[in-house]
Amino acid sequence: MDLSSPAAIARLILPKVPLMLQIAVWHSLRIPQTATKWDLKTELIVKTLRSMLNSSHPTPISEQQRTSLHDPGIKGKMWISKTTFPAPEQDHVLRILHQAVEDLKEPGERYTPAVMAAVEVEWTGYRANVDNHRQRPDLSERQHYSKLMSEVRSDVTLLYFHGGAFFMMDPSTHRATTSHLAHLTNGRVLSVRYRLAPQNPFPAALLDALIAYLSLLYPPSAESFHSPVPAPHIVLAGDSAGGNICVSLVQLLLQINRSTTKSILFHNHTIDLPLPLPAACSTMAAWLDITRSMPSVTANARYDYLPPPFSREYASTFPHCEAWPTDPPRGDLYSDTSILSHPLVSPLTAKDWTGSCPLWFSYGEEMLADEVQVVASKAAKQGVTVVSEQWEAMPHCFALILLGSSMSKKAYQNWGAFCQDAVKGENSRTRGLWIEAKTGKEKEVDIENICRLSDGEIKERMEAAKAARHLGGEGEGKLLPKL
């Protein structure tokens, strides 16, 4: 999907014109079930996206990844300052990560041990009093950071992880989101360029997330742009796969703090445990079950555009490329099939949320709704402050793709307000909301009983989904794409 030029966009959209005309006519006649819930713009965007993402002839994984990394440039109402957090010379962070994975692992689960690497990041802030076409000034990255900080008006620092199914996208693709959140919070955002799958499978991205978080708390060197950021000023934020990284990072911090480790070395810092938790964790349409085996995957499909869950049949449709299949072959882009139900891979399986920071979930009536509700319900029952906002008939990441709609505007406002309140220490009440389509009317729901799935049913569904990626004794080798 090449979006690097107007001509490329035209080549992508023109074949969809007949479909879009049909969608418009059917919507005007109120033929689709969705017509009573969606306006025409939503109908066109969601159904055109669905057509593109559910192609019977998908683009090679490496090409999808390469295209998604196209940098649209920096202009308009944003300050961007690029920097890199160096990998620590000591291996303590790597060891506590692997120990947490091992402590939570079931027999027979396999993964590729991570290696430490430098983590590229983008500081993002709102740039006031310019139009949307103002070019980025010709300054050093440190000077850009100083300009950014001159417009920060609150203590909020968001640590942001972008979506993209773990194998696509980049901080550059999410600058509109991060700069908007910086504006809404009067704060700043640190957007992380974590390593992408399938080249860097679990737990590489989670290691990058941990290094980024520790680098905020304990700047790696005197050359760092920022001074130490207190944990109560940090809010984790992310969408889709990035939401998974946020929630997994919270669970990782909790697991590290449950361990017997007394301290770790991080660059020139000796850090005593327990590690401080952030003020809160906030996610938009978090992907918390990598097997995608919960009932909402089929029950809510009419409101969504996501492709079907990864399976041996679906995997076989991807053409060979340098990124896929992996060597040795895996049943999932992100991890080995055997470990898909690990709580740091699919956080809906996490058993203990005691001591967690407040959690905020915003999501639609989408295919991933059940997995969000499993985590929200379980955490609330264990005494964690949880806010769950479900938007009727809205698709995956609706706030990001339906820009300008009343639902998107309100969801963003709620997101920003939650982050500000968390840093002020004002998040005190667990609550669940159901927001009606079009009207925006809110109805309180019982968050502790928002999901009726038992732990046994969840495990059964996930194990069945994992088994569906195998065939006989040849295991994951059967998932090799067809030539």
User: What DSSP string runs through 275-337?
Assistant: PPPPSEEEEES----TT--STHHHHTGGG--PPPPP-HHHHTTSPP-SSSS-SS--SSSSS-G
Distance CA 93, CA 91 (A): 6
Tokens 């307000």 correspond to: 417
Q: How many residues does the chain have?
A: 483
SS3 category, 345: coil
Task: State both tokens at 202.
Answer: 């679990």
Distance CA 357, CA 359 (A): 6
Put the strands of the sheet holding 188-193 in their side by side order: 78-85, 119-126, 188-193, 157-161, 234-239, 280-284, 359-364, 386-391, 431-435, 442-445
SS3 category, 160: strand
* CB-based contacts of 439, cutoff 8 Å, min separation 6: none
Identity of residue 303: Y
Selected catalytic residue, list 68, 240, 356, 405: 240
- Is 55 tagged catalytic? no
Task: State both tokens at 256.
Answer: 């590290």
User: What DSSP string runs through 226-273?
Assistant: SPPPPGGGEEEEEETHHHHHHHHHHHHHHHHHHSS--EEEETTEEEES
Q: ∠ CA(467), CA(473), CA(477), 5° rounding?
A: 75
CB atoms within 10 A of CB 412: 20
CA distances from 308 to 25, 94, 97, 293, 311 (A): 27, 34, 31, 10, 8
Cis peptide before 325 (omega within 30 of 0): yes
Instruction: List the catalytic residues.
Output: 240
